């Protein structure tokens, strides 16, 4: 790390600037985000190596998550992942919600699955993000039948939409605007997920 400290510090400084601009931009269409600071959003570069065979101390990527309450607030939001070799992506939704949050999201899908269908089957959404992604159960979750009309979404344990971006796009001077347009397209999905979570506080 010491050998690359200057490079890391320069990269982090750039990420802080980008994050600040994104907070301001997202705040125009999602007012909860306007209250955040970069420190609320940026993930540490140190890896948690307690439960993995890979003991590399540092991540090979940088990331920032913009959501109500910040990166640890427990709400659906907007994620920017920056990694060399064309491994960057822009995403949104909710990654690995808590058991209580997952239960509430499934209830929302059970009650209002048609609304979610309108969101994720929207032509522009599909062009930008493809299908809703996430690890899925093999069997229906407890309390839901296999023939439920929205069983595929009820089986999900993570609810994310992902748009890959190349190194060329990341380096483009219009990258902030590019990212904000994608984030704005994720607003309906996040609103749907967060509607189920607003009583978790």
- pLDDT, tens digit, for every residue of 5-24? 555 566 677 889 999 999 99
Check residue 10 and give its pLDDT. Answer: 65
**Total of domains in the chain:** 1
Check residue 43 and give its pLDDT. Answer: 85
Query: Tokens 């839901």 belong to which residue?
Result: 144
Is the confidence at residue 194, as pLDDT, over 80? yes
Query: What distances in angstroms separate CA 36 from CA 31, 104, 195, one per listed residue?
Result: 10, 25, 20
Instruction: List the one residue out of 50, 137, 134 whose CA is nearest residue 93.
Output: 134
In this predicted model, what pLDDT tens digit does every residue of 115-132 receive, in sequence order?
A: 999 999 999 999 999 999
- Residue 30's domain comprises 2-197
Check residue 14 and give its pLDDT. Answer: 83
In this predicted model, what pLDDT tens digit does every residue of 21-66 receive, in sequence order?
A: 999 999 999 999 999 999 999 986 643 333 445 434 445 678 999 9
Binned at pLDDT 50, 70 and 90, residue 108 comes out as very high
CATH code: domain of residue 116: 3.30.930
Cross-strand pairs, 78: 66, 92
Instruction: List the one residue out of 102, 115, 200 whose CA is nearest residue 143.
Output: 102
Average pLDDT, integer, range 63-86: 95
Contact (Cβ atoms closer than 8 angstroms) between residue 176 and residue 18: yes
In this predicted model, what pLDDT tens digit does every residue of 128-152 receive, in sequence order?
A: 999 999 899 999 999 999 999 999 9
Is the confidence at residue 193, as pLDDT, over 70? yes
Query: What distances in angstroms separate CA 121 from CA 108, 159, 179, one per listed residue?
Result: 17, 14, 21
Helix (H, G, I), strand (E, B) or coil at 164: strand
């Amino acid at each position: 790390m010491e050998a690359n400290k200057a490079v890391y510090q320069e990269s982090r400084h750039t990420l802080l600037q980008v994050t600040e601009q994104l907070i301001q931009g997202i705040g125009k269409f999602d007012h909860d985000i306007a209250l955040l600071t970069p420190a609320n959003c940026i993930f540490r570069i140190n890896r948690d190596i307690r439960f993995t065979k890979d003991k590399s101390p540092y991540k090979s990527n940088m990331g920032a998550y913009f959501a109500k309450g910040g990166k640890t607030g427990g709400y659906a939001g907007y994620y920017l992942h920056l990694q060399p070799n064309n491994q960057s992506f822009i995403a949104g939704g909710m990654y690995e919600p808590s058991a209580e949050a997952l239960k509430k999201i499934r209830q929302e899908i059970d009650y209002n699955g048609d609304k979610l269908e309108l969101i994720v089957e929207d032509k522009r959404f599909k062009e930008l993000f493809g299908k809703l992604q996430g690890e899925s159960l093999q069997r229906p979750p407890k309390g839901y039948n296999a023939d439920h009309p929205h069983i595929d979404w009820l089986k999900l344990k993570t609810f994310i939409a992902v748009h890959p971006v190349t190194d060329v796009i990341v380096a483009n001077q219009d990258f902030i605007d590019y990212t904000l347009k994608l984030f704005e397209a994720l607003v309906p999905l996040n609103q749907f997920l967060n509607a189920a979570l607003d009583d978790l506080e």
